[in-house]
Amino acid sequence: MKDNHLRKTMKFRIDKEQSNIPRDILINVYEALEEKGYDPINQMVGYFISGDPTYITSHRNARSLIRRLERDELLEELIKFYMKHNKKEDKQ
């Protein structure tokens, strides 16, 4: 006889905090670094250059979050955002 618990429907829920959207990851990591008293820009640059996750605090699960995506995916998001808001024709 099979266990009754195997016949029940399991509920699967993805926590909104666990987003894989680059924008959300970058913002959450930035805020976690800031909360811990680090300079978020310096720490994130260190991570992007070296790939060493110890540049990112484990506070608020930031280290785990930033490692969900490849560094090039996160950098691509940063460059797209920067270029969208700083195009040469927008400055004239």
> Could you tell me which of 53, 50, 49 has the C-alpha nearest to residue 68?
53
Give yes or no for a contact between 68 and 17, defined as CB atoms under 8 angstroms apart: no
> Could you tell me which of 58, 15, 17 has the C-alpha nearest to residue 36?
58
Digits of tens for pLDDT over the chain (92 positions)?
455 556 676 666 555 555 689 999 999 999 999 999 999 999 999 999 999 999 999 999 999 999 999 999 999 999 999 999 998 875 55
Name the pTM for this structure. Answer: 0.75
